[in-house]
Amino acid sequence: MKFPVSIMLLLIIIASIGLIAINTEISYDSLNPNQYVSPEDGAIKIRSNLYFVYDHALRKESRSITIEDQNYDQSIILNLSYGASNSYFKSIYDKGVSISSIDLIKDTCYVNINKTNQFDKLLVDEDFPLYIWSIVNSLTEISQIKNVQILVDGKQFNYPVNGFNLKSPLTMDESLIYNKIPTAADIVLEFVENINSRRFDLAYNLLSETSLKTYNYSRFISYANAFIDTHKEFHRDTFYTRIYNDYEEVFIKFTKQYETDGFMLNTYDNWRVIKEENAYRINLSDE
């Protein structure tokens, strides 16, 4: 089989170009050492939880934290020292206590607290364990830190606290974190939010057993759509709860601006809430 002369010439040209490319050195601009930024020397941002003390419990606050040069431990403590967005939430810094050094060795973080008069006062505070675990829980939120060793003036501090001793490394204690018990109003607010966001499935799961029998899912969707239609442009305002012997009734005020004259229109809705198996459920059976 003979190849046309034109195809043979094309193949020869392609092969020649390939040989030239292989044997040609291409010079690239090189970076000076001061222009090169190692990923390890840069800053990254993580989202983590910080813990503060309020009303005899630890309160969690989510925070975007910048980590410089992989110094996770120092960045966490630095952000803890900035304080909480809620001015009622406190840390050891609000008590005048300071930390002189932080060192991360393997997966244990060594936190060196200065022994001052302020620290001695904090020792006898009934919330002293919470201030310690404010540090411990904040640090152990990240995977790089498993334990926290508290030092005082650079030495192990023999002091019993919450069934542990400060001379030994401490781990996260979730039992100290505030756990809000949902109220009847919380359930109704969640119910309304689910309807407004058209998560009818989640709202339906908040109904009482009697309501589930009265409202099949199709009928409930009709109820939810009717609520959305009658509450267009209305915004939730205030709410309150009336407590009776066998149920609670939650009232919500909705408002919207009437055209452009600044006059506000108000509408009120109420839901009956009962307890089933220690959980609040909304009773629509009387609707």
Per the model's pLDDT, the better-predicted residue between 1 and 127 turns out to be 127
Q: Give the model confidence (pLDDT) of 52-107 as tens digits.
A: 999 999 999 998 999 888 888 999 999 999 999 999 999 999 999 999 999 999 99
The first and second tokens of residue 178, run together, are 């505030």
CATH number at residue 254: 3.10.450.100
Residue 8 has pLDDT above 70, yes or no: no
Both 162 and 216 in a single domain?
A: no
Give the model's pLDDT for residue 263: 82
Q: What is the DSSP letter of 66?
A: E
CA distances from 18 to 24, 78, 275 (A): 10, 58, 80
Mean pLDDT of the chain, nearest integer: 88
Task: Estimate the share of the chain in helix, then strand, then coil, as percent rounded to the nearest 5.
Answer: 35, 30, 35
d(CA 242, CA 166): 47
Q: What percent of the chain has pLDDT over 70?
A: 84
Q: pLDDT at position 274, please?
A: 96
Tell me: pLDDT of 30 over 70. no
**99 and 170 share a domain?**
yes
Of the residues 176, 196, 218, the one at which a domain ends: 176
What secondary structure letter does DSSP report for 37? -
Residue 78 and residue 195 in one domain: no
For residue 4, tell me if it sits in a domain.
no
Residues 163 and 204 in one domain: no
d(CA 241, CA 250): 4
Domain count across the chain? 2
Asked whether the predicted pLDDT for residue 29 surpasses 60, the reply is: no
237 falls within a domain: yes
Check whether residue 149 and residue 70 sit in a common domain.
yes
Residue 24 lies in a domain: no
Quickly list H helices, the chain: 5-22, 72-82, 117-123, 128-140, 184-196, 200-204, 209-214, 217-230
31: pLDDT strictly greater than 70: no
* Residue 25 binned pLDDT confidence (cut-offs 50, 70, 90): low
Q: Which position has the higher pLDDT, 129 or 262?
A: 129
Does residue 191 form part of some domain? yes
Q: Is 219 among the domain residues?
A: yes
Domain stop point among 129, 147, 176: 176
For residue 277, give its domain range.
184-283
Is the CB of residue 123 less than 8 Å from the CB of residue 82?
A: no
Same domain? 169 vs 194: no
- Report in angstroms the alpha-carbon separations of 51 from 23, 58, 127: 63, 6, 13
